[in-house]
Amino acid sequence: MRRKDAVLLNDPDPFHSIVPYVMPKRTEAEVSSEVTFDITELLSFIKKHNEEQGTNYKLFHCICMAIAKTIYHRPKMNIFIAGRKFWQRNDITLSFVAKQKFADEAQETLMTLKVDGDMDLDRVSKIILGDVKKARSSGTNSLDKTMELVGKLPRFVLEIFFWILSRMEYHGIYPEDLAKGDPNYTTCLLSNLGSIGADNCYHHLSNFGTNSMMGTIGTMYKEEGRDKVKMTITLDERIADGFYFAKSLKLLKYILEHPEMLTSKVSDPVPEDIAK
């Protein structure tokens, strides 16, 4: 079997090799964990860089960078299951939603960020800011236009259309143009609920696509004089064991609580006792 977006993993351990048959659906294999980050030093880091270097770093940009760095050094977090097979994704891709404006009736635009090993926080921040500004000024992107067109099809045609797409996905021949920009085909889908004054919450995965990781970010708050934020992460437990997940979350927490690590490239070393 071949896919354009990933490489087939041929040697899962005996237990994991049968898991996709015992739990064929991603939504049957969800695990969710709430993590609290102490961001006191991170907020000072953001303020200092923005004032002294003229950057426009946001907390969300730093979280995206930390997640990308974690996934790079913990590659099993970038595995997905399709067609009952394990696949190692070729790229690290993060997706999120940007509202056109903060109003109930405002439309949402889906954004995708591809991160490679040579990127740093400055590059990640500029891409996010640029893409969001472009989407808000134009009011749409290519995926929005595709969904608008498909959404106008009759119901019975949509049912046939998505059944065909599901079969194509199972056999690894899903159209590349449709997957591009689709958050269901990214490493991690993020929802920054704190930006609208909401708390983090559990968010389900989807059986459609290849996304194995979902995160919701809550509002910042004070506790015993420290700035903190909570994040709820939902994972497909079939792609790795609990020990691997726990160490990955520990690394993510370490990066965010040691913001100097965000100034280095995604591929630059992280503490070996956590990453290995």
Looking at per-residue pLDDT, the higher value among 137 and 244 belongs to 244
Q: Using an 8 Å Cβ cutoff, are 7 and 206 in contact?
A: no
What integer pLDDT is reported at residue 102 of this predicted model? 47
Superfamily of structural domain 6-140+182-275: Chloramphenicol acetyltransferase-like domain (3.30.559.10)
Give the pLDDT mean for 241-251: 94
Q: Using an 8 Å Cβ cutoff, are 100 and 109 in contact?
A: yes
Domain limits, the chain: 6-140+182-275
Give the pLDDT mean for 236-253: 94
Looking at per-residue pLDDT, the higher value among 270 and 131 belongs to 270
For the cut 50, the answer to whether the pLDDT of residue 187 exceeds it is yes
How far apart CA 64 and CA 45 sit, in angstroms, is 16
For the cut 60, the answer to whether the pLDDT of residue 105 exceeds it is no
Give the pLDDT mean for 249-270: 95
Alpha helices in 107-211 (DSSP H): 121-138, 142-150, 155-170, 176-179
For the cut 70, the answer to whether the pLDDT of residue 257 exceeds it is yes
Mean pLDDT of the chain: 89
pLDDT digits (tens, 9 = 90+) for 126-180: 999 887 776 556 555 556 666 677 777 888 888 898 899 999 998 889 888 888 8
Strands (E), 180-223: 188-192, 213-217, 221-223
